[in-house]
Amino acid sequence: MGGQRRSDLHPDVEAMLTALEAFPDVTQHTAAELREIIASRRAPLAREPQMRIAQDRTIDGPGGELAVRLFVPHGTTGARPVVVFAHGGGFVFCDLDSHDEFCRSMAAAVDVVVVSVDYRRAPEHPGPAALEDMYAAVRWTAEHAVEFGGDPERLVVAGDSAGGNLAATVSLAARDRGGPAIAAQVLLYPVIDDDFTTESYRLYGENYYNTTKAMRWYWQQYAPHGTDSPYLVPTRAESLAGLPRAIVVTAELDPPCSSGDDYARQLAAAGVPVTAHRFDGLFHGFLTFPALSLTGQAREKLWQMMRDALAASENSPSAEVGGA
């Protein structure tokens, strides 16, 4: 790509961004080709950190069988909070394996059960198919959490990138459909909307791994008939009141950063308790790059925010969230 990157980046970030220039131009491939290319470049699964239980299960989804992967860490025997997790990948690629290490690390560090969801992907299944799969997984988790040491009263939804969109929209769906009750939503550099005119798109729309061109393509795959529904773009909701407390993490060098920051402000304005943190000098997806020297410290910050949110949710019943 043409153009220059900022000269003040951490050298390890600069090196990683240079390496990531080999990432395929998504607009030049079919979805099936992309999945194959990306999967072929993936290192073998390390299955670290080790879990007490790491198990694939199949549940009933709106489109048929829906795969989930269950992670239960070692340690305490009491009921743990349960995080229902949606992986990123532009709504088009990535899967349970791509985010296996991240889910394990979250489970171990935050001391939670994680249910990772293999939702249907676009363009074969345009939105809101992925959201409906996520909602089915949240309902299943609420009903079955006790079977694997989870506490259905402390149900969290989380996701990175496109998965952050799904965590945000499933929070809306659960509110609108009368449950299940969600204690917290964790949105990691979420893809909130399809506004490509924001400051972060203008500043970082190319040369920083995730691009405006790619984001346009992802939305075309996921929402070919437009984005009017709040279950595609959460800011289309008439109100954000009554949503679960939120952790919103953004990355400065990421085109969707401004929209994520704005969504945190909109949630707070609607009375939702929000913890927002922007990681300056970092790029989209960095939390799932454990080889990057800055990722470990950033993860520690995220894990602590999650622990704090869970502690706060225990002290304030869900009916209070959103100022209802």
Domain containing residue 235: CATH number: 3.40.50.1820
Average pLDDT, the chain: 95
The percentage of the chain sitting over the pLDDT mark of 90, rounded to a whole number, equals 93
pLDDT band at 318 (very low <50, low <70, confident <90, very high): very low
Q: Is-contact 115 83, C-beta < 8 A?
A: yes
Q: pTM (2 decimals)?
A: 0.96
Give me the mean pLDDT over the 150-171 stretch.
Answer: 98
Tell whether 4 is covered by a domain.
Answer: no
In a domain, 176, yes or no: yes
Of 292, 123, 110, the C-alpha closest to 223 is 123
Does pLDDT of 59 surpass 90?
A: yes
- Domain around 292: 11-313
Among residues of the chain, what percentage have pLDDT more than 70? 96
Classify residue 191: in a domain, yes or no. Answer: yes
Overall number of domains in the chain = 1
The closest alpha carbon to 294, from 264, 252, 247, belongs to 252
Residue 321: pLDDT band (50, 70, 90) is: very low
Give residue 319's pLDDT: 35
271-306 residue pLDDT tens: 999 999 999 999 999 999 999 999 999 999 999 999
Q: Does residue 186 fall inside a structural domain? A: yes
Q: What's the pLDDT band for 3 if we cut at 50, 70, 90?
A: low
Query: Structure tokens of 323?
Result: 């100022």
Residue-wise pLDDT tens digits, 213-239 = 999 999 999 999 999 999 999 999 999
Residue 24 lies in a domain: yes
For residue 244, is pLDDT > 50?
yes
Q: Kind of pairing, strands 80-86 and 64-72?
A: unpaired
- Say what the pLDDT of residue 182 is: 98
Residue 95 located in a structural domain: yes
Residue 77: the pLDDT is: 77
Q: Which amino acid is at 120?
A: R
**Domain annotation covers residue 324:** no
Give me the pLDDT at residue 4, please: 85
What confidence tier does 1 reach under pLDDT thresholds 50, 70, 90? very low
Residue 324, pLDDT above cutoff 70: no
The residues carrying an active-site annotation are 161
- In order of 6, 181, 200, 239, 311, the CA distances from 161 in angstroms are 23, 23, 15, 23, 25
User: In the prediction, which pLDDT does 50 show?
Assistant: 97
Q: What is the pLDDT of residues 103-139, one digit of tens each?
A: 999 999 999 999 999 999 999 999 999 999 999 999 9
pLDDT given at position 18: 96
* Identity of the residue numbered 261: D
In a domain, 318, yes or no: no
